[in-house]
A and B are shown apart, each in its own frame.
Chain A
Amino acid sequence: MTTTDNPPVQEIGRDRRRKEDRRLITGRTRWTDNQAITGLLHISIVRSPFAHAEIKGIDTSAAKQVPGVVGVYTAADIGADAVQLPCAWPITKDMKSPQRPALAGSRVNFAGEGVAVVVARSAAIAKDAAELVEVDYDELEPVLDMEAALADGATLVHPELGTNENAQWVFDSGEAGSGGSAAEAIAAAEKADDQVVVRRRFRQQRLVPVFMEPRSTVVDPTGEQLTMWSATQVPHILKTMLALTLGLPEHKLRVIAPDVGGGFGGKIAVAPEEVVTLLVAQKLGKPVKWTETRSESLLTAHHGRDQIQDLAVAVTKDGQIKALDVKLLADMGAYLGLVGPGVPILGAFMFNAIYKIPAYRFDCRNVFTTKTLTDAYRGAGRPEATFGIERMMDEVAVELGMEPMELRKKNWISHEEFPFTTVSTLTYDTGNYEAATEQAMTMFDYDGLRREQQQRRQRGDVKQLGIGISTFTEMCGLAPSRVLGSLDYGAGGWETSSIRMLPTGKVECVVGTSGHGQGHETAFSQIVADKLGVGFDDVEILHGDTQSSYRGLDTYGSRSLAVGGIAIVKAAEKVVEKARPIAAHMLEASEDDLEFTAGKFSVKGTDKGVGIADVALAVFAAHDMPEGVEPDIDAHATFDPENFSYPHGTHLCAVEVDTETGFVQLYKYVCVDDVGTVINPLIVEGQVHGGLAQGIAQALFEEAAYDESGTLLSGTLVDYTLPSAADLISFDTANTTTPSTTNPLGVKGVGEAGTIASTPAVVNAVLDAVRQYGVSDIDMPTTPYRVWTAINSAKGTSGRGDEADVASPGAGLGSTASDISKGDTQGGHL
């Protein structure tokens, strides 16, 4: 018998290097596009160059003549026009929902929409032939501007809907009983002498997730089960949705997400190309591959964000917030994605953020345009909300002449007040905003940087310093099924795990989450190792294949640990409980006398014991089982959270703005995040770094822009400017920890935190640097041109009247309004 002689050290909390690295650093990878099956055919999709057009005819004859071409199909040829790609989140009962085909039949509604497909021996031949497909279009007017799209007489994207409005979703704390009426509070504030109402309009630009691995799908229809490999975050959802959408028997489908190179929400989809690949494979009875090019990805994979935010805050002159009113327009693009309409609605719960706001109203109108559809992108609804409120806090601070951190402190939930039920009805279980903020301020040397900022102003330096704050929280661990039900979401939010105890003492842990870079194999192994007392290297995490992992809801919304990790804990507990009677039998002891620690059942008060591996082997042999006990200690568990978890943190950013050129250079970035119990600090730090880079990129670098004809201008990585290493700096990150009480591990989720928090910190910093010249807002991304233009036009505007004493948020630290208004001293540099 083997025994666990050396109980393993505690794995949870250890900075384990990742298990998954070895393959990835040696090139031993299994990306979908690596799939090579004998007889594999390749497809190329013919796409519309127009944003909005009627399809008058398609001539495929020349394409069909190309040697090596197997078939050229229009939508009708493979039934792709009749498909209704799914939207799983009908946010209101009367939501307007257009049919979204896999290929357009009679009308295209965004530039890049597929209209035909070429199948050939090689991808190169397929592309050659695709260029020979002649499509006759009748151009229609594009619909590009959300406000114009909602005006009377606007051209309709989908005339059959009778409107460009997808839905309107409203939350009012007065009606919900969770607070007062924001409308009344704002009206009262406008009349009150001791209150002001601050109104701002912010723009959330359109972004592209830009996962590094372009999407790819291979469908092999030759087996009894049709197998789809796909670069997806959601193999389980994809499988069920394909069955429902195409009427395929679900048990005849197998979906595999092999190595997946990033997603960031961009691979939460039932993509038209996945369906087209499947339809072609079925039609031909041959394996078929589709792999997109980067320009195809930028054009057609779903985009993110894209909102107009009209915000109003009522606040007393000493800084107590009385009400928040949020009016959003959210651009859905041409169709509804899998969860697209719900993305802005997630923000409804987060605009009130960490603050005690007595009255709150959220009103969101989703709008159709002839652009690529929008859906989840890292943070999904929460970055938009966090940006809105954190920008607004700085605006209010400026209006009141308050130090911006003081304003926040005055309004946030103090650590003694948890659990705290917010005006948007969520109950925050734990948190300590004071602790995170204090640590961040110290690491940042906040006061020192404020002094440096003052010195630079006084010297009239070309490079001015700006300091930005973002104190944020988010809801993680999507999601309690009952909450999703109340929001009319089409599925639950539970997660599943199975643990298989192998005869040699090794463990297979099957999970329903589907990692694609997060380090699940490592972090989950640490959990299993601790809970079962087995070695870290003796655990294998199985995921991403619906044949081995038949039940799951996949990876998004910072749920894999906060929900999926708990399912693992529950499954491990069941293994131990199933093993207990067998161990008692082996030890000839009573179950009640056994304790299980470090992988070993021991008889209390003796040195007698058996390891869990011994039990696994005994069960395998099954020669001597206790009466009525099945020879099996494998276990399966599903966890449905009672509540979300609420990570929070304080992010501080300093930037240098070159006032001659408008160029913004990151100067210092500090963040202290409370993500609850940390399973692996290395992975947590990595998630924060990557999240910060994406949030900063929204603030400074990235935008998916369209021209007036509806053509995407940023259709390659030359134009959609991702930051490289040379554009970023090293970040100082740290953690405070208040364990979550909503789950037994005390974890909160970290995947989206950096992205959610960082964008407003950076923009607040940029504005803090240039507010002295009279600048009050700059649209994202704050490009050099925009910053320069803002400085120039603000300085060119004379007679700003009551805004002449415009104060910086830093004004509280020794500066005075008159110091700051000496913008003219900078004139020589412009």
Chain B
Amino acid sequence: MARIRTTVDGLVYEDDVEPRMLLVQYLRERLGKTGTVIGCDTSNCGACTVHLDGLSVKSCSVLAVQANGSEVLTVEGLERDGQLHPVQQAFHDNHALQCGYCTPGMIMQSIDLLGDNPDPSEQEVREGIEGNLCRCTGYQNIVRAVQDAAQKMKPGAHASTSSSAAAPVAGGGA
């Protein structure tokens, strides 16, 4: 067992974990953060995407012990005072989800992408989410949603999620 201390969605946690425990398991099974899901065992699907110290990662390919001392942001930590993050809102507005299983990972990766590139072209969005698989939407409305969110986030602050200080208020434009 290893002792880890993490900040997840703004709250501090301390736990003993087996070294083999994956970050996604820790989030789901120990913290009850079941909004983040597991879709594969080869890091292809991206459903488990969260932000670790401000960068998107596949939480199935990070050990919980590796998150010791880090800040984690999940889809459950995006809302601010009951307001959806602009990317969440855009997913709803543009019908960018059907079954919703890939959605948490898609949203987290899309926020990361917009932090990096606030005004992506269609092709840049497609490449920016190429690590996230969706089986329902054909991606078209997801691409639309990300571009829509980019427009809505423009007037405000940059969607800076690449600095850990910004977590858990990723996006900031809300």
Asked if chains A and B are in direct contact (CB within 8 A), the reply is yes
* Residues of chain A whose beta carbon lies under 8 Å from any beta carbon of chain B: 17-18, 20-29, 31, 33-34, 36, 124, 210-214, 259-262, 264, 293-295, 516-519, 682-683, 685-687, 689-694, 716-718, 722, 724-726, 728, 730-731, 754
Given pairs A17-B92, A26-B75, A722-B44, 13 additional interface contacts (CB within 8 A): A21-B92, A29-B100, A31-B34, A124-B20, A212-B135, A213-B99, A294-B40, A518-B98, A689-B141, A692-B138, A717-B45, A728-B138, A731-B140
Q: How far is the CB of B33 from chain A (nearest CB, A)?
A: 7
Q: Does B26 contact A (CB under 8 A)?
A: no
Q: Chain A residue with minimal CB distance to B123?
A: A726
Name the A residues within 8 Å of B76 (CB-CB). Answer: 26-28
| B34/A686 in contact, CB under 8 A | no
Q: How far is the CB of A751 from chain B (nearest CB, A)?
A: 11
Q: What is the bound-complex CA distance between A36 and B25, given in angstroms? A: 13
| B38/A262 in contact, CB under 8 A | no
Q: What is the bound-complex CA distance between A295 and B38, given in angstroms? A: 12
With contacts A25-B107, A212-B134 taken as known, whether A690 is within 8 angstroms of B92 at the C-beta atoms is: no
Q: What is the bound-complex CA distance between A262 and B143, given in angstroms? A: 20
Name the A residues within 8 Å of B78 (CB-CB). Answer: 26
24 A–B contact pairs at CB < 8 A?
A25-B84, A25-B103, A26-B84, A27-B76, A28-B35, A31-B34, A33-B38, A211-B101, A212-B39, A212-B133, A213-B101, A294-B42, A295-B41, A295-B42, A692-B138, A693-B139, A716-B40, A718-B42, A724-B126, A725-B127, A725-B129, A725-B143, A728-B126, A730-B122
Q: What is the bound-complex CA distance between A770 and B139, given in angstroms? A: 29
Name the A residues within 8 Å of B140 (CB-CB). Answer: 689, 728, 730-731
Most buried by B among A22, A213, A293, A687: A213
Q: What is the bound-complex CA distance between A295 and B60, given in angstroms? A: 14
Q: Chain B residue with minimal CB distance to A378?
A: B135
Name the B residues within 8 Å of A689 (CB-CB). Answer: 137-141
Most buried by B among A295, A689, A722, A728: A689
Q: What is the bound-complex CA distance between A196 and B117, given in angstroms? A: 59
Q: How far is the CB of B155 from chain A (nearest CB, A)?
A: 22
| B88/A690 in contact, CB under 8 A | no
Q: What is the bound-complex CA distance between A724 and B136, given in angstroms? A: 12
Closest 8 CB pairs of A and B: A27-B35, A517-B99, A261-B101, A24-B100, A693-B138, A689-B138, A294-B40, A717-B44
| A725/B130 in contact, CB under 8 A | yes
Q: Chain B residue with minimal CB distance to A17?
A: B92
Q: What is the bound-complex CA distance between A24 and B107, given in angstroms? A: 11
1/0 per residue B108-144: CB within 8 Å of A? 0000000000000010011101111111111111110
Q: Chain A residue with minimal CB distance to B107?
A: A25
Q: Which of B18, B101, B143 has a CB less than 8 Å from the CB of A730? A: B143
Q: Does B7 contact A (CB under 8 A)?
A: no
What secondary structure prevails in chain B residues at the interface with A?
Answer: loop
| A17/B93 in contact, CB under 8 A | yes
Name the B residues within 8 Å of A213 (CB-CB). Answer: 37, 39, 99, 101
**What total count of A-B pairs have CB within 8 Å?**
174
Q: What is the bound-complex CA distance between A124 and B19, given in angstroms? A: 12
Q: How far is the CB of B170 from chain A (nearest CB, A)?
A: 14
Q: What is the bound-complex CA distance between A728 and B125, given in angstroms? A: 12
Most buried by A among B98, B122, B140: B98
Q: Which of A27, A261, A690, A693 has a CB less than 8 Å from the CB of B34? A: A27
Q: How far is the CB of A618 from chain B (nearest CB, A)?
A: 37
Q: Which of B44, B99, B129, B133 has a CB less than 8 Å from the CB of A260? A: B99
Q: How far is the CB of A523 from chain B (nearest CB, A)?
A: 12
| A262/B137 in contact, CB under 8 A | no
Name the B residues within 8 Å of A262 (CB-CB). Answer: 98-99, 101, 135-136
Q: What is the bound-complex CA distance between A259 and B38, given in angstroms? A: 14
Q: Chain A residue with minimal CB distance to B75?
A: A27
| A27/B99 in contact, CB under 8 A | no
Q: What is the bound-complex CA distance between A782 and B105, given in angstroms? A: 30
Q: Which of A210, A260, A726 has a CB less than 8 Å from the CB of B126? A: A726
Q: Does B74 contact A (CB under 8 A)?
A: yes
| A724/B131 in contact, CB under 8 A | yes
With contacts A17-B95, A20-B100, A517-B99 taken as known, whether A686 is within 8 angstroms of B41 at the C-beta atoms is: no
| B34/A34 in contact, CB under 8 A | yes
Name the A residues within 8 Å of B47 (CB-CB). Answer: 212
| A210/B135 in contact, CB under 8 A | yes
Q: Does B36 contact A (CB under 8 A)?
A: yes
| A718/B44 in contact, CB under 8 A | yes
With contacts A27-B74, A690-B138 taken as known, whether A212 is within 8 angstroms of B35 at the C-beta atoms is: no
Q: Does B168 contact A (CB under 8 A)?
A: no
Q: What is the bound-complex CA distance between A754 and B134, given in angstroms? A: 16
| B126/A31 in contact, CB under 8 A | no
| A716/B100 in contact, CB under 8 A | no
| B101/A31 in contact, CB under 8 A | yes
| A725/B104 in contact, CB under 8 A | no
With contacts A211-B135, A212-B133 taken as known, whether A25 is within 8 angstroms of B42 at the C-beta atoms is: no
| B91/A25 in contact, CB under 8 A | yes
Name the A residues within 8 Å of B33 (CB-CB). Answer: 27
Q: Does B65 contact A (CB under 8 A)?
A: no
| A31/B37 in contact, CB under 8 A | yes
| B101/A724 in contact, CB under 8 A | no
| B97/A716 in contact, CB under 8 A | no
Q: Chain B residue with minimal CB distance to A260?
A: B99
Q: Which of B107, B122, B126, B137 has a CB less than 8 Å from the CB of A686? A: B137
Name the A residues within 8 Å of B75 (CB-CB). Answer: 25-27
| B95/A682 in contact, CB under 8 A | yes
Q: Does B102 contact A (CB under 8 A)?
A: yes
With contacts A29-B35, A726-B127, A726-B130 taken as known, whether A24 is within 8 angstroms of B135 at the C-beta atoms is: no
Q: How far is the CB of A458 from chain B (nearest CB, A)?
A: 29
Q: Does B79 contact A (CB under 8 A)?
A: yes
Name the A residues within 8 Å of B92 (CB-CB). Answer: 17-18, 21-22, 25
Q: Which of B98, B101, B104 has a CB less than 8 Å from the CB of A690? A: B98
With contacts A25-B107, A213-B37 taken as known, whether A516 is within 8 angstroms of B99 at the C-beta atoms is: yes
With contacts A26-B79, A717-B133, A730-B122 taken as known, whether A519 is within 8 angstroms of B98 at the C-beta atoms is: yes
